[in-house]
Amino acid sequence: MAKGKRHYSGKELILRRQLERQQAETAKGNARTQQLKRINASRRAIGWAKQKMREGKGNGSVLD
């Protein structure tokens, strides 16, 4: 078989482009999901830290 670029039929090209587009959208969606998970985790950590600060002080905190 000759080495070089393979030539695809029109239908095959359309299917390959659709698959590439779907994979790109999935990757973008996964990145968004990971970012949201990191944001939510940091919110929980901040809330936990504020609670610990409130418990440590007997008086009213500015962060309340």
The three-class DSSP label of residue 60 is coil
pLDDT per residue as tens digits for the range 33-57: 999 999 999 999 999 988 888 887 6
Taking the CA atoms of 22, 25, 31 and 36 in sequence, report the sign of the dihedral they define.
negative
**What pLDDT does 36 receive?**
93
Provide the CB-side half-sphere exposure for 17 (13 A, CA). 7
CA 47 to chain centre: 22
pLDDT per residue as tens digits for the range 5-28: 777 788 999 999 999 999 999 999
